[in-house]
Structure 1
Amino acid sequence: MSAPKGEPASTSQVTQPQTAADIAGIPPGTVMTPGFVETAGRMIYVWGWPLVNHYNRSLAMAGVPEPGRNGGVLPVAPPGSISMLTDYIQADQKFVTCPNQDTVYGAGYQHLDTQPVVIQVPDFGDRFFVYQMADSRTESFCSIGQQYGTKPGFYMLVGPNWKGETPKGINAVCRASTDLVAVLPRIFMDDTPQDRAAIRPLVNQVVLYPLDQFDGTMKTKDWAKTPVFPAPKTEGQGEMKFVVPEKFFDELPTVLKGVPPLPGEEAIYATAHALLEAAGRDPSIKEQLTRIAVATEQEVIAPLFDFRNNGRPVGNGWTSPSNGARWGFDYLSRTASAKSNIYDNAPNETRYIYTDVDSSGTRLTGAGGGAYTVTFPKGQTPPVKGFWSLTLYNKHHLFEPNALNRFGVGTKNKDLKYGADGSLTLYVQHASPGPERESNWLPAPEEEFSLYIRAYWPDAPITEGRWTPPAVTRPH
């Protein structure tokens, strides 16, 4: 607004907007009450949990000497490479919860500022594939897959601070927002011997290597011949523990250095640094932060493992996050998925829909002869351009070994039996439903379990919320 006519313009009330660099945090040495430490410490723990989880998973792979398989079942590789399986992931692994048995997996963690890498995409034809690139926030940052019309060839992955030349022959460059990323290819495979044979030469061309090894030629590796390393030691029956509350605030400074704040996160970082500074000079604050971490793990993080506390209701007792790998400032959903089933694909790539309960709201269990049916009416299987599956997980969100070695059913299965009316009924129970129904049987443990729908390349009825998953019913 201009000054009144005849009066000089005054600048005494004019202030310039602050920039991020101008915004100071709590000055070092400021007294912090226990109540403030409690409030801020809990928030920082919930916010930072996925970052510490991702970081420690990378350390668990960093020591392997070359691409291989932990325990013969889990792909592991040092930075500058990935490891690929040649079949579905098997039941006897505890490195990651909620794996699928629809795709052939690959995995590897990279430090892209230090070592940019090239990843190869073979000609998959009409076979579904998607390469997930997850940064330190578990956000996807690169679009490589069938739904993107990705062309065969070479793709370069670089870190936020990398400055270099892109060599000729590179189809595209994907820049991460963090140095540390996870690379997780997924390639669809039918559950048939014929497709297992057909996919092998394609998988052998899914290779990742440092940029300085790029020469414009498609490299191959026989992934069936990679070494087997001893399976890592685990405690208990669940997933390996990648966030140890007692160590969280000791590990957080290293993690923060590798993950710059998003615009708008400066206050969170300033508060975290202030807490860490205070803990460094006052042992009582350090002890309090450790107690806070332990309590928050039990009271806040642990309940997020249950699928009914993850995402939003989508009907019939099922829930689903609509923003997987696109978390932004949704720290609740980001942490819930990191706790229950880390490394979601982006929502346009895969929609994850899950339930812990039947149609009456009762916890799913195979105890006492518990038997359930899931019936998709004619034409009402999950609407996808890719494929779909229904997978069963035990109470630890891992596969439960069974005589059929079957943990999920869906598009991959060629022997599913449909009813006379065109409907598809799946039988979820511990005991066999009988020879005539066994092709549609999803074996359950004699204890609590969860069900999990994956809709790969979901169609509009799913992405727009117009498709409702079927009820899980318990016949009387």
Structure 2
Amino acid sequence: MNRRELLAVAAALGLVPGLARAQGADAATLARDAWLFALPWIEMATTRARVFKRGARPNRIYHRRKLSDHTDRSVTTPNNDTLYSLAWIDLTQGPVTLTIPASGQRYVSAAILNMFTDNDVVLGTRVNGGAGGDFTVVGPSQTATGDRVVRVLTPHAWILIRTLVDGPDDLAAARKVQSGFKVSGPKAERPPAYLERDADPAAYFATARALLAADPPRPEDAAFIQRSAGLLTDGPFDAAALAAGVAQARAVAKLASGRVAFVNGWSYPKPNLGYHGVDYGYRAIVALQGLGALPVAEAMYMKAAGDNNSGLFNGDGLYRLTLPAQLPLDGFWSLSMYEATADGQYFFTDNPIDRYAIGDRTPGLKRNADGTLDLWISRSDPGGERSVNWLPAPKAGPFSMTLRTYLPRADLLEGRFRFDPIVKV
């Protein structure tokens, strides 16, 4: 990639609303922006296909009965705090009913994401307290009555449910609550298979057009689609410009994690996480690096700056994170460890103590005399009293860490509270 192309990539990291709405953009720029615009549909379809390949069907719920570990590679940056349940729903045949159990003091959330990855609603502890109930989920043009009707902006959607596990001894009780989540609806056929993001440019956009036809974007997106020179509709396009633009788009996706703005060692989510509007660039990067992310009122995800503000750690030494005695949140917190893949995704890493995250429910953590907590991060056991507070890093290769805080309070949401950085000891 030459200097001009690199400059274009750098500019695209701040993609929209500026560039994506620019008049008179050249063909390669249009291809770049259109590739990123369509990426959420592609990633959702890819994730759905992986589930259906294992025998799942639409409008049925599937419960994962164990916490995610290093063997789970279907969704990037999973958590190790909650049991996941999921359903891919098809509303083209009629409404679907989502049953939420009474959960008491246990945190639960049921996020319903449309096919361009916005959270149309998040039900559960924050919204409904510990009460349960039946909710009617309807598509964009369907009608329903009652005070528990939830509207989704696309005919197909993803219900992603999280049930908190309060430590190893709580797994059986958590599973009992998890079993209370149910989905029922009309019988629907599995959708056709779609190509993935590594498809050649022409095939990628053919797939994108099919996905957008099945699950149309919002009216606010019409202006951008009109300027996509037929890529997102059905017009012809210059092959050379198409290839150049897609190469830039893939570079944007690969470099994005290194262009994050860090504050005192952490990146903080944008306020529109989970409700992206016309911020297509941010939406694309979230789809690639954190598909299914909750909105900030539900949870805040902070990524550590890593070595040299790259978002990745490469060192073989010892790192430390010090947390205050009290954090400004009403839920729970955890620090997760991920190995980084070449295409910009993150998964748990195998380790000798089967610890993929460390948090407020980790048994045996040792606090300092003033109540603060030192967490130790390294590839090998730091030894002594530090071992109980150890988060293992991969045996080799770059790694990333994400700090999750659930039900954050205003001080955290509004930036008055900031975490200390992870430091190399």
Same fold (TM over 0.5): yes
One of 119, 125, 149 as aligned partner of 2:98: 119
Alignment-derived partner of residue 134 in structure 2: 154
CA pair 121-84 structure 1, distance change in 2 beyond 3 A = same
Q: Conserved in 2, the CA contact under 8 Å of 1:153 and 1:171?
A: no
TM-score (norm 1): 0.76
One of 170, 173, 177 as aligned partner of 1:202: 177
CA pair 87-261 structure 1, distance change in 2 beyond 3 A = closer
Partner amino acid for 1:185?
A: I
Matches of 1:147 and 1:46, distance apart in 2: 32
Alpha-carbon shift at residue 336 of structure 1 (Å): 1.2
Alignment-derived partner of residue 390 in structure 1: 335
Q: Determine helix, strand or coil for the equivalent of 1:339.
A: helix
CA pair 173-211 structure 1, distance change in 2 beyond 3 A = farther
RMSD between aligned alpha carbons?
2.4
Matches of 2:355 and 2:30, distance apart in 1: 45
Alpha-carbon shift at residue 274 of structure 1 (Å): 2.7
What are the within-5 Å matches in structure 2 for residues 217-366 of structure 1?
242-246=196-200, 247-272=203-228, 274-275=230-231, 276-279=233-236, 285=237, 287-288=239-240, 290-292=242-244, 294-304=246-256, 306=257, 308-310=258-260, 312-358=261-307, 361=309, 364-365=312-313
Structure 1 residue ranges without an equivalent (≥5): 1-32, 66-76, 213-240, 280-284
Partner amino acid for 1:205?
A: G
Alignment-derived partner of residue 21 in structure 2: none
Deviations 1:263-288 (A, max 9, x none): 33222222346345332xxxxx3633
One of 142, 164, 167 as aligned partner of 1:191: 167
Alpha-carbon shift at residue 176 of structure 1 (Å): 0.5
Alignment-derived partner of residue 132 in structure 1: 111
CA pair 375-286 structure 1, distance change in 2 beyond 3 A = same
Alignment-derived partner of residue 441 in structure 1: 390
Alpha-carbon shift at residue 361 of structure 1 (Å): 4.0
Question: Structure 1 residue 410 and structure 2 residue 365: aligned?
Answer: no
Partner amino acid for 1:457?
A: L
TM-score (norm 2): 0.84
Partner amino acid for 2:366?
A: K
Alpha-carbon shift at residue 261 of structure 1 (Å): 3.9
Deviations 1:43-99 (A, max 9, x none): 21121111222123223333444xxxxxxxxxxx32111211122112112211100
Question: Structure 1 residue 84 and structure 2 residue 63: aligned?
Answer: yes
Partner amino acid for 2:393?
A: A
Matches of 2:63 and 2:94, distance apart in 1: 20
Partner amino acid for 1:126?
A: Q
Deviations 1:22-50 (A, max 9, x none): xxxxxxxxxxx9x8322321221121111
Q: Determine helix, strand or coil for the equivalent of 2:26.
A: helix
Q: Determine helix, strand or coil for the equivalent of 1:92.
A: coil
Point out which structure has higher relative CO (alpha carbons under 8 A, 6+ apart): 2
CA pair 201-171 structure 1, distance change in 2 beyond 3 A = farther
CA pair 289-259 structure 1, distance change in 2 beyond 3 A = farther
Q: Conserved in 2, the CA contact under 8 Å of 1:314 and 1:320?
A: no
What are the within-5 Å matches in structure 2 for residues 430-469 of structure 1?
430-445=379-394, 446-469=396-419
Alpha-carbon shift at residue 363 of structure 1 (Å): 6.5
CA pair 134-448 structure 1, distance change in 2 beyond 3 A = same
What percent of counterpart residues are identical? 25
Question: Structure 1 residue 174 and structure 2 residue 150: aligned?
Answer: yes
Q: Conserved in 2, the CA contact under 8 Å of 1:79 and 1:111?
A: yes
Q: Determine helix, strand or coil for the equivalent of 1:323.
A: coil
One of 11, 33, 38 as aligned partner of 2:28: 38
Matches of 2:53 and 2:65, distance apart in 1: 23
Q: Conserved in 1, the CA contact under 8 Å of 2:337 and 2:393?
A: yes
Structure 2 residue ranges without an equivalent (≥5): 1-23, 188-194
